[in-house]
Structure 1
Amino acid sequence: MGLAGTPRPRTPSHRPRRQDFDRLRQGPTVQRDRFDRPGPKNRPGRYLPLVIGFDLFGLGIPAWLVLRTDGQPRALAGAAAAAVVWSGVRAVRGRYTARGTGRTPGVLTATGDWLLLIGLMAVLWTAVDGTIDPATAVVALVPGLLATAAASGARRLPWSGRRRTARRVLVVGEAAGVDRAVRLLAARADHGYLVVAAVPVGTTALTCEAPVPGRLAPQPADDDASTVLGAAFAHEADLALVVPGPQLAEERLRRLSWGLHDGGLDLSVLSHLSEIAESRVRPSSAAGLTLLHIVPPLRRGPQQVLKAAVDRTGAALGLIALAPLLVAVAASVRFTSAGPVFHRQIRQGQHNQPFTMWKFRTMVADAEQHKARLVTANENNGPMFKMRRDPRVTRIGRLLRRSSLDELPQLFNVLRGDMSLVGPRPPLPDEVSRYDERELRRLAVRPGLTGLWQVSGRSDLSWQETVSLDLWYVDNWSVATDVGLMARTLRAVTDGRGAY
């Protein structure tokens, strides 16, 4: 089953030998080579020399100035060696690799590279010139870390003008797998893949809206690769995303990969595992088999200790720094509506343990008594109650909710250890009573003051979207992830979307 309504494949060897194909073809008559088509204007490798030069001079020049000022011998040679080693460390660890998904190394990544640099330079300076003062040498390398970390952070900022380089994806596989892949990729924007077309296996119709320039026969055929290559050429795809299945497995998939690679098209194979962060996947091989080792989620160890320390320290500093704001908000709540300043509510925490959560009161004092008559107006499709125009919310309460200021008293819960700065939303007991086994996994970690749900739309999310985000966090969290989410929270709070 070949292509219809698409340009001819590029070479005679790839051309299906059927007259009906030529009659149905409606593509342009100008022959183009796949590698001659315009690529993304902001290719990752375009600024590679500038990035490498920035690392070299950003560390080398300050190091030379520090060593020279301190009167260290061979200051220029030592600084030059440090700069070359620094760039080498970054290159070996893949920091200059072009990432098709548009991601850049972060600040914590630069810190890890810098610590490795310290170790290498300690060995090098000890072996070559033991007269250099170690303390001065470390100080000389600090500006290089700061420069690289600042550059990495700047490239991640939304206002930096850096556009994500999206890969144009052609999805290949059985109809059900193609529909699922296209639907999930279209539902999220936190990746660098743009589905441009699909090539299903067999005659089953797709439910997604992806263009179908051709189909593969249910059984292996000689024109499998030419069909996919022709579809990729017609839609200017630079990646074939293959969804394995009973009709597209083992030897057929292997031969298809040969044909696609020979034709110059990149290939990715979709794993049936989902919601697993890239950092937890370790590829390996044994007896000709390709294995994916999945690292267990972080539940204990140094990162857990560091998270607890950051939570307690951050909550304490936050309460001190925000004390005037807390007093002002408390006064506005107290003098604009009758009732207490704070709203205390029982929530379920880690391992389904109940705790009392504190918030500034944003509703009328007897709000819980009126909830029963509003159940039918619930706008959420799960156990969580949400109503965009909840009549129980006070005027000042709407402002506090939109700005998320009503959540600030939860810093006391973080300080007590009931909550974390980052984690899933803490649920109510009646919500948890309706959880299934999958949803109960949300309670495997401490609930958070902020989390993926807050930076991804908050109340605008469906229940299943909220659960999916929380489960991703439960299985894939790290201190670096927490830092990134706290930074994104500032933008989400400023935006105010989904807060009601």
Structure 2
Amino acid sequence: MPGGATAVNAPSIDGDIFAVASRAGTWSRRYLKRLVAFDLLGALLAVGAALAIGPGARDMNMSYVIASAAMPLLWIGALALSRAYERRYLGVSDEEYRAVGRAVVGLLGLLAVGGLFVKAQWSRSYILTLIVLLFAFGLLARRLCRVWLERHRSEGRLMQRTVVVGRADAAAELIRNIKRSPDQGLDVVAVCTSGLDSDWNTTSSIEGVPVMGNAYDAVSAVDLCDAEVVAVTSHPELAGKGLRRLAWALEERDVELVVSTGLLDVAGPRLSLRQSTDMSLLHIERPAATRRSVFLKSLMDRTLAALLVLVLSPLFLGIALAIKLTSPGPVLFKQKRVGVGGEFFTIYKFRTMVVDAEKQLAALMQYSDGNAVQFKMKKDPRVTPIGVFLRRFSLDELPQLFNVLIGNMSLVGPRPQSQAEVEQYEPDAMRRLHVRPGMTGLWQVSGRSDLDWEQSLRLDLRYVDNWSPIVDLQILFRTFRAVITSNGAY
């Protein structure tokens, strides 16, 4: 065994598969108890509201009483049939949210068929209120449980003990990714590997995780560490029959098996299995670049931008007046930026710096607090007093709503950069130009200027490869929180 690790007389992949030891963590049971309780409470509130809004005293009959009394149990059953309570989705997958939508549709169909058979005539307001509130409370329940789980996991609790199996370099990369994502709930306690540059028998750890043998020692490591999850990444010894035998051994031990595809930042909706009698292939769908998706994104962008301009017009006037009274020069700052496909356009912002700020830039480059490509300075002397306030809450970006209306920007996307910054791009970074630049994006809601260039680029590329109208809405909601807290803004 590596690095003085003690040899263990435990079953290998082909060993005693009947030595069952249930390792299912208590976190999933605690999570489920809370989730079911929230769902029941939500169903009761929805039923109460539906009865109050729907039938009046004259129309109230036994069909309403029976349906309302059965509704909490029917709702729990609909959620269960829609796989809303499957352990593999709890706390980590968007499938948990999509299951609520499936349950609502199923329950609506059940009410329609049931009402037809018993000849019940329920009021539209009763049905509409019930369905809308069940859907809203179902989503809220899962969000509350996620917050509870993420809070515990950020403190190192309610984690799943995990054994990583794979070639040394791939295992090290997977361990780093797992450590960067504590919300996944994986606590790597051992690694089974081979293919190290040096003699692997002399290596005791990878990324601070003890090495406990090669791929064939995976089940022994699971038994020794009382692990709940085995994460497999690239390994020549775990292909075909080897991986299948490992899956059988872990199944008997109630241990979860997850396999890393090696496809970085490809979202679940783009992945699907193409199965036949002899093989299973992983199908990678192209990013959402169909005409329909692009049209929907453009329509949503311009509609929301128009509404925001109307609602925020008094704020626009107030900011413009404050800039004019406190600093000589124009209210708006204009600059050429690189947009989709490398085309240039003029970006609009409220001016937050002195008029000759561009001329002073060269002298300040050595004091940059930004990343390798973007110049940022936490205490930039060129920023005006009113500019400090505007930048802190990103109010200087508001005029870009007109860029969205014109069509050369989107509400969500990679931030538009100058020609000088684009000229420093490596080939991978050029993919940022495949979509319209945005007022906000993944890196803005994930740390803003506190991120280095590699982190910012990875988040932008992840957005380019996985964007959709739903993803845009999620980022917009997260943007509001990021702006309020002003983290990473300077």
Alignment TM class, shorter chain as reference: 0.7 to 0.9
CA contact (8 A) 1:174 1:201 kept: yes
1:94 to 68, 76, 83: 83
1:459 to 427, 449, 463: 449
CA distance in 2, matches of 1:105, 1:262: 26
Identity of aligned residues (%): 35
Q: Structure 1: where are the runs of 5+ without partners? A: 17-31, 218-223
Shift in CA distance, 346/250, structure 1 to aligned 2, threshold 3 Å: same
2:37 counterpart of 1:50: yes
Counterpart in the other structure of 1:485: 475
1:496 to 482, 486, 490: 486
2:238 counterpart of 1:240: no
Query: Which amino acid letter does the alignment assign opposite residue 256 of structure 1?
Result: L
CA contact (8 A) 1:114 1:145 kept: yes
2:189 to 188, 196, 199: 196
Query: Which amino acid letter does the alignment assign opposite residue 250 of structure 1?
Result: G
CA contact (8 A) 1:197 1:210 kept: no
Question: After superposition, what is the alpha-carbon deviation per residue over 1:307-333, rounded to whole angstroms, capped at 9, x for unaligned?
Answer: 333322322222233233333322332
CA offset at residue 56 of structure 1? 4.3
Q: Count residues in correspondence.
A: 477
Shift in CA distance, 286/108, structure 1 to aligned 2, threshold 3 Å: closer
CA distance in 2, matches of 1:150, 1:346: 43
Matches within 5 A, 1:66-145: 66-67=54-55, 69=57, 71=59, 74-80=63-69, 85-98=74-87, 99-103=89-93, 110-111=100-101, 113-129=103-119, 131-132=121-122, 137-145=127-135
Matches within 5 A, 1:74-473: 74-80=63-69, 85-98=74-87, 99-103=89-93, 110-111=100-101, 113-129=103-119, 131-132=121-122, 137-156=127-146, 165-189=158-182, 191-202=184-195, 203-204=199-200, 205=203, 208-216=206-214, 224=216, 227-300=217-290, 303-473=293-463
Shift in CA distance, 127/433, structure 1 to aligned 2, threshold 3 Å: farther
Question: After superposition, what is the alpha-carbon deviation per residue over 1:136-170, rounded to whole angstroms, capped at 9, x for unaligned?
Answer: 54345444334334434444558996767533322
CA offset at residue 341 of structure 1? 1.5
Q: Structure 2: where are the runs of 5+ without partners? A: none
CA distance in 1, matches of 2:14, 2:102: 48
Query: Which amino acid letter does the alignment assign opposite residue 244 of structure 1?
Result: S
CA distance in 2, matches of 1:307, 1:158: 33
CA distance in 2, matches of 1:105, 1:365: 51
* Greater shift in the superposed pair: 314-323 or 169-178: 314-323
CA offset at residue 41 of structure 1? 8.5
TM-score for the superposition, normalised by structure 1 = 0.82
CA contact (8 A) 2:100 2:138 kept: yes
CA contact (8 A) 1:239 1:266 kept: yes
Query: Which amino acid letter does the alignment assign opposite residue 187 of structure 1?
Result: R
CA contact (8 A) 2:411 2:438 kept: yes
TM-score for the superposition, normalised by structure 2 = 0.84
Shift in CA distance, 437/148, structure 1 to aligned 2, threshold 3 Å: same
CA distance in 2, matches of 1:9, 1:391: 67
Query: Which amino acid letter does the alignment assign opposite residue 118 of structure 1?
Result: L
Question: After superposition, what is the alpha-carbon deviation per residue over 1:33-65, rounded to whole angstroms, capped at 9, x for unaligned?
Answer: 954797448732233542442354344444455
CA contact (8 A) 1:357 1:410 kept: yes
Query: Which amino acid letter does the alignment assign opposite residue 284 of structure 2?
Result: I
User: What do you get for the CA RMSD once the two structures are aligned?
Assistant: 3.6
CA offset at residue 127 of structure 1? 4.2
Counterpart in the other structure of 1:28: none
SS at match of 1:43: helix
CA distance in 2, matches of 1:352, 1:13: 53
CA offset at residue 201 of structure 1? 1.9
